[in-house]
Amino acid sequence: MPRRRPPNIRRVAINTGGGDAPGLNAVIRAVVLSGLNHGWEIVGIRDGYNGIFRPQEYPDGGLVPLTRTRVRGITHLGGTIIGTTNRGNPLHYPTAMPDGTMKEVDRTDDLVEGLKEHEIDAVVAIGGDGSLTIANALAKKGVRIVGVPKTIDNDLSKTVVTFGFDTAVSFATECLDRLHSTAEAHRRVMVVEVMGRYAGWIALNAGVSGTADAILIPEIPFDLHAVATKVRRRAGAGRNFAIVVVAEGAKPRGGRRSVLEKRLGAAERLGGIGERVSVALGQMTGRETRHVVLGHLLRGGTPTAFDRLLSLRFGSAAVRALAEGRTGVMVALDPPTVRYVPLAQATERMKTVPLDCDTILTARELGICLGD
Ligand code: F6P
């Protein structure tokens, strides 16, 4: 193994990018406290990289000094104290052209310059696939950078789990528990749409834990006749209600995903499939249906103990990585330990639900309809 030399670090910046996830503040706290132990100064870049691109918009110039006092009492708080954004990706930055049109432009060179101007020696980038792809591009341009995998969607490969996912699944499960009683009281079919983008992890894990009757995930294009049959069979057995969980990225067999909005410099916004499924199931079964969109509720609130601990471990590990002279890596959970994987590998493939995984098998063996 090549020996790494401890780098000459004086100032480290933290960046939180993309949709927020419970546990972000715990990571920030761990990076700050561990970094202070090395004598480093830690700052937070406001709202993704906006603090560097548009410093004039912030009274503090776009960089938040992160002292011991500033990170006191934040481990259990949702959100991020330095702000985030899932718009304005530096690799595809929406820019006005001379002819008045808008075009996506790679602005990572400006970002590298901005980091230099602020005398930032290293960056801890906390984010999902978008933010970690940006981190990888910065690493290639010589920025000393370590990534921390964040997303409620759990769609990052190379880590067993991302922080935020456990909280999202726990809350969705609690919602399913609550919906059971009202569904039964009214003899309704309740369709619950959950986030997760193109991966069905939240829908599957919450659906199985919350004893849903049907779970529709992007990995298995669905046939609603199968779900309607399940609803009818339950009714035939005296169970006059049903709970159907639908991932926002699920799509009918031969059909399309439900997209709410396509945006310049940002990922498409998914949503609406819950309502479509609810209306169609009502027509097919003659039953009264209702749909609920859990949406951003899954991203808010207090992180579970699992997510807090994982976030604190990830934050400390990121600082250890920098102190050991590593760069261009992401911290990853590989139980019982946290290890480092190259950012290039961490972002090359989206982690979707394998169709032969044991949770899918469990769902089938429990009689849960997966829409196929
Ligand atoms: O990636 C996290 C996530 O919450 C996805 O599950 C969802 O599709 C997306 O972000 C929603 O983004 P926005 O905050 O722009 O609505």
Gap between the Cα atoms of 136 and 142, Å rounded: 10
- Which residue ranges in the chain fall short of pLDDT 50? none
- Measure the CA–CA gap between 73 and 69, rounded to whole angstroms: 9
The reported pLDDT for the residue numbered 88 is: 81
pLDDT for position 84: 97
Q: Write the pLDDT tens digit of every residue in 295-339.
A: 999 999 999 999 999 999 999 999 999 999 999 999 999 999 999
171 alpha carbon – ligand 1 mean position (Å): 16
Closest residue (by CA) to atom 1 of ligand 1?
Answer: 19
Residue 259 CA to ligand 1 center (angstroms) comes to: 12
pLDDT of residue 3: 56
Mutate which of 20, 80, 84, 152 for ligand 1? The one with the most ligand atoms within 8 Å of its CB, which is: 152
For residue 130, what pLDDT is reported? Answer: 95
SS3 of residue 120 by DSSP: coil
pLDDT at residue 289 in the model: 98
Tokens 């030399």: give the residue. 5
**Residue 110 annotated among the catalytic residues of the structure:** no
Cα(164) to ligand 1 centroid in Å equals 12
* pLDDT attached to residue 5: 65
Give the pLDDT confidence of 73-120 residue by residue, as tens digits: 999 999 999 999 998 899 999 889 999 999 999 999 999 999 999 999
166-300 fold: Rossmann fold (3.40.50)
- Backbone torsions φ then ψ of 106, nearest 5 degrees: -75, 115
Q: Which residues of 44-54 are buried (b: 16+ CB within 10 A; e: fewer)?
A: bbbbbbbbbbe
Domain ranges of the chain: 11-163+303-346, 166-300
CB-based burial label for 94 (10 Å; 0-12, 13-18, 19+): middle
CATH of the domain spanning 11-163+303-346: 3.40.50.450
Do the two domains 11-163+303-346 and 166-300 of this chain adopt the same fold? yes
**β-pairing verdict for 93-96 and 102-105:** antiparallel
Residue of 20, 47, 153, 166 marked catalytic: 153
Say how far residue 128 (Cα) sits from the centre of its chain: 6
